[in-house]
Structure 1
């Protein structure tokens, strides 16, 4: 019996070693087959490492390319997604709490949204397909994911000049994505992000219920001190003007519950100087247009703060959003001639007030009243 036991244990150990030896190649073949067989995309992985002790596998050198919009064999030369390392593992902290869930760590990924003439909402489709791929690669529900030093680009090679707008050094951390809601805490999950672009800084804070049937969250975000000179290609391509100097800021808050949401977007531009009256730069129509843009900016600018800005309120349901355009125009006038908007997040939106109706004051009283604007 002892001899049979030793032989049996030896066979088991040998099979485990054999499995450990060939498992990375088996998984690599499976992943590359999944990438190759995708309808809208194709891709390749260089190598896969298996860590059985911690229940993980590491994808090294993944690249995903997008097929053209006509679903032919043509492939976009700009990778849709590339990353030197992705670590997919069991989330041991949650496992000790009785939940078998996964953890995702992504180092230095690069995501490119390339504009094409397609009439479909490509960005929405791309992000949806990417989530689907992650579900295929990670069979467990993801409870925690971390993204380090990411880059996100919007590229338009069809515009003149060509456009490449980006955010770099993007770090994202999301936790408790599969935890059941705790009584008294309707937003048990969290997502925090920060990044940099054009000398500016980006910050995002979100509290959410990831398990809710409808979007349930409370978020605030800010993009501050963005140098508009770095966006001149974008401004020329889509606005037909460029700037000598200028600083862009945007502040936003949104909250949502049971299909209803409420929030605002507050864009502010400081020290704007639009290029104008340069005969060597363009034709007469271009010069006139840039002069008109510069004149309008000067007219609606708060002279004391050298600031152009507004606040756009958006609310109602996701199926039927209501954008208060008239209010935004009046706030432009108030910022210019009465009191400058404060360059900060207002802390005025949360789950407790998304269903509250705004006070029905007079047309001018509500906009031009003398109380301090946040």
Structure 2
């Protein structure tokens, strides 16, 4: 073997050895960096057990990660996020379309919001902090997200009784978030999700354009057959009542584009029982309050369907939304005394209807109690102007007649 061939062989052996060493050391280096980042995040503390790297697949997997909120004064940690596994990789489907983007797959993911007199802006802060953490460890723009067996939990340990409610067995799939394929359609991205809510089911379907300057989407969602008895701690803490029997459903459609939106929300309660034999030991004020709530529910209940329901439409632009309260009250009365509202999505809202200006027919409540909108004011103004013109014509005609007589 010549000296030159020996050098080439040794070169490849050394390179291969270095690759092996890097491959062995790299997971420990990345894991050390990850845990250092998790431990030094402002307001949080986290840890991951292990990292597996798949160089050929262009991916790495984080095993058993958690992130807790940290109280800087008491050093108390409150669980915020956790997952048994997070897989970060190149999305091969997009790669075949010429885009280098990434995908995230979460297994057994948990997101918890804990209330200690928390404001909504703190929830937004928590969410953005978590997103920033993912951005640090995903060098590519995320085009696909999948969540398996996820849960979202809300806890309020300051209330009486303490509140602990959650959405469980959640599955979510979001695709084409960076418009890496199927870019010819108006709403190229999609998001589907389903989950369980206390014996009930949640279903969500969204078509969207996440790269548009203004929110542009077409969404429908429904919650069916949720057992209200399972939410009694929530009702006792915030409404001072408990439910002995009842099922809850909610149906909604919303679409938006160019800063405008339109939609409706349709809540529905079936087989409701607030005051029963289970409440005999309650104090007199509690019984009176529950009796009032039960009576209102009974009055506005559709007896044949045994349900209380309404439909609340809304529309407008993001800076000036408009909700039709009188329509909602009219729907309650209609459900109670005329025709039961159907427990389903109405399939009447989509992105094409956002710009559609419908001539709204006012119900009796709007005519009696509702304030006049700009269109009504313009109509009244035009009528007044027409009357003034007619009066002026009559006056001019009388003057002309007098002049002729003279």
Fold shared per TM-score above 0.5: yes
Give the direction of change, closer, same or farther, for the CA distance of 1:335–1:281 in structure 2 (3 Å limit): same
Task: State how far apart, in whole Å, the 2-side matches of 1:319 and 1:236 are.
Answer: 35
Name 1:8's counterpart in structure 2: 11
Q: Which has the higher helix share?
A: 2
3-state secondary structure, aligned to 1:121:
helix
Name 2:27's counterpart in structure 1: 24
Name 2:76's counterpart in structure 1: 75
Give the direction of change, closer, same or farther, for the CA distance of 1:365–1:120 in structure 2 (3 Å limit): closer
Give runs of aligned pairs for residues 229-244 of structure 1, distance below 5 A: 229-244=229-244
Give the direction of change, closer, same or farther, for the CA distance of 1:184–1:87 in structure 2 (3 Å limit): closer
Q: Which runs of 5+ in 2 are unaligned?
A: 368-406
Q: CA deviation at 1:182?
A: 5.3
Give runs of aligned pairs for residues 1-374 of structure 1, distance below 5 A: 1-68=4-71, 71-72=72-73, 74-77=75-78, 79-179=79-179, 185-276=185-276, 280-364=280-364
Task: State how far apart, in whole Å, the 1-side matches of 2:100 and 2:180 are.
Answer: 13
Q: CA deviation at 1:360?
A: 2.6
Q: Is the 8 A contact 1:87 1:105 kept in 2?
A: yes
Q: CA deviation at 1:180?
A: 5.2
Task: State how far apart, in whole Å, the 1-side matches of 2:358 and 2:286 are.
Answer: 43
Deviates further, 279-288 or 130-139: 279-288
Q: Is the 8 A contact 1:154 1:164 kept in 2?
A: yes
Task: State how far apart, in whole Å, the 1-side matches of 2:176 and 2:160 are.
Answer: 45
Q: Which runs of 5+ in 1 are unaligned?
A: 368-374
Q: If the length of structure 1 is used for normalisation, what is the TM-score?
A: 0.93
Q: CA deviation at 1:318?
A: 2.5
Q: CA deviation at 1:135?
A: 1.1
Q: CA deviation at 1:184?
A: 5.1
Give the direction of change, closer, same or farther, for the CA distance of 1:73–1:33 in structure 2 (3 Å limit): farther
Q: Is the 8 A contact 2:262 2:315 kept in 1?
A: yes
Name 2:378's counterpart in structure 1: none
Name 2:380's counterpart in structure 1: none
Task: State how far apart, in whole Å, the 2-side matches of 1:119 and 1:170 are.
Answer: 25
Give the direction of change, closer, same or farther, for the CA distance of 1:364–1:40 in structure 2 (3 Å limit): same
Task: State how far apart, in whole Å, the 1-side matches of 2:132 and 2:45 are.
Answer: 14
Q: Is the 8 A contact 2:163 2:233 kept in 1?
A: yes
Task: State how far apart, in whole Å, the 1-side matches of 2:74 and 2:139 are.
Answer: 29
1:148-183 Cα shifts (integer Å, max 9, x gaps): 011111111111111111111100011111125857
Q: If the length of structure 2 is used for normalisation, what is the TM-score?
A: 0.86
3-state secondary structure, aligned to 1:286:
helix
Give the direction of change, closer, same or farther, for the CA distance of 1:231–1:263 in structure 2 (3 Å limit): same
Give the direction of change, closer, same or farther, for the CA distance of 1:35–1:240 in structure 2 (3 Å limit): same
3-state secondary structure, aligned to 1:80:
strand
Q: Is the 8 A contact 2:51 2:61 kept in 1?
A: yes
Task: State how far apart, in whole Å, the 2-side matches of 1:212 and 1:346 are.
Answer: 27
Task: State how far apart, in whole Å, the 2-side matches of 1:61 and 1:365 are.
Answer: 57
Task: State how far apart, in whole Å, the 2-side matches of 1:196 and 1:277 are.
Answer: 30
Q: Is the 8 A contact 1:181 1:209 kept in 2?
A: no
Q: CA deviation at 1:321?
A: 2.3
Give the direction of change, closer, same or farther, for the CA distance of 1:73–1:36 in structure 2 (3 Å limit): farther
3-state secondary structure, aligned to 1:263:
strand
Deviating above 4 A after TM superposition, structure 1's stretches of 4 or more consecutive aligned residues are 180-184, 276-280
Deviates further, 45-54 or 312-321: 312-321
